[in-house]
Structure 1
């Protein structure tokens, strides 16, 4: 099989995966006098050229993962929705909401929330600013590893007086099985060295 056939097969597979998501977007009011956020590249403003290296991330993603750390008695399951959207300008909006699950997959309670911005730069550097509901603010820097994976690490961490001690974090995002999105996160916190903390496997539900 030559590269042309491989590319054609990949495009066809992507179109098949999008059959149930291509008409879905971020629910929102549509009467703003400025462009609204879009997590669907088929709708809304055109993606800014500066964000092309992040294009595969745009969408609404849902799935499950696991939290673990050396200070925990055992791993904990969670589910998450991740929205990565744009309004035509040279940055992406990021919002993640999680909820804890029991061993049978039933919802226990809401969990972590974070919002922020992906800011790609002309030299391929990526700035990721995240604010967590727990009182922690993080500035990540990183670069694409290839066309479908992105690695970032914190340059600065700021926290409120009541927040848990966090001194650093690293994240790796990448497209995996059939276009799904996976990520792994390491954290240094509560006096512990950098170590694995969370991972998740998310499937596209919009875009």
Structure 2
């Protein structure tokens, strides 16, 4: 079997366990609900076609590191990217820390926001973090399966740590899995690698 055939077979096997799953739906909601499954719910708005591969629910693990940390920290994450048929995507990330054996220590970072693609291929990404940070990213697709963004503005509450900038790169890797890396400038340190993760599709 060729590598191309193997990739197609692997994709079909993954889809068998994810194609019928979706976000919980309220049947009495009088407007379209969010869907993370392109086979269900409203059609994806044409404005979002450049972001189509991101739609789904993704889970996996990654690593947090920074020059101010004694050592890297393992974490797990669920990332939801969904839509309701309008020209934007909903973004929600929930993370939890793991010990060296992979057991859950406690809940960690949360963020919610919106991907807003524009007619000139620019992507606006608005994110609000539970830690009191609000960020506006701008970027563009690098190709059909990767997207690079950097902050244009960062706002924080009085109780939040100092953050002055961030950059993110998302991309599909290894037969449709999602990887991303983030660089961040904070607490007086220059921009540097901070987070990386590898996520597998569980919905869509």
Matched, 1:95 2:92: yes
CA deviation map 1:40-78 (0-9, x unaligned)? 000000000000000000000000000000000000000
Unaligned runs of at least 5 residues, structure 1: none
151, 156, 161: which one aligns with 1:154: 151
What residue is the counterpart of 1:58 in the other structure?
55
Distance 1:9 1:46, change over 3 A: farther
Secondary structure in structure 2 of the residue aligned to 1:52: helix
Corresponding residue to 1:178 among 150, 175, 200:
175
Query: Could you list the runs of 4 or more consecutive aligned residues of structure 1 that deviate by over 2 angstroms after TM superposition?
Result: 5-17
TM-score (norm 2): 0.96
1:16 to 13, 19, 34: 13
What whole-Å deviation, never above 9, does each CA across 1:97-135 have from its counterpart, x for those lacking one?
Answer: 000000000000000000000000000000000000000
Q: Following superposition of structure 1 onto structure 2, how do residues 10-159 of structure 1 map, counting pairs within 5 Å?
A: 13-159=10-156
Cα distance in 2 for partners of 1:108, 1:127 equals: 34
CA distance in structure 1 between the partners assigned to 2:13 and 2:55 by the alignment: 17
> TM-score, normalised on structure 1?
0.94
Distance, in Å, in 1 between the alignment partners of 2:155 and 2:74 is: 27
Partners of 1:177 and 1:24 in 2: how far apart?
Answer: 22
SS at match of 2:51: helix
1:6 & 1:32 partners in 2: Cα distance? 45
Q: Secondary structure at the match of 1:54?
A: helix
Distance 1:6 1:74 in 2: 38
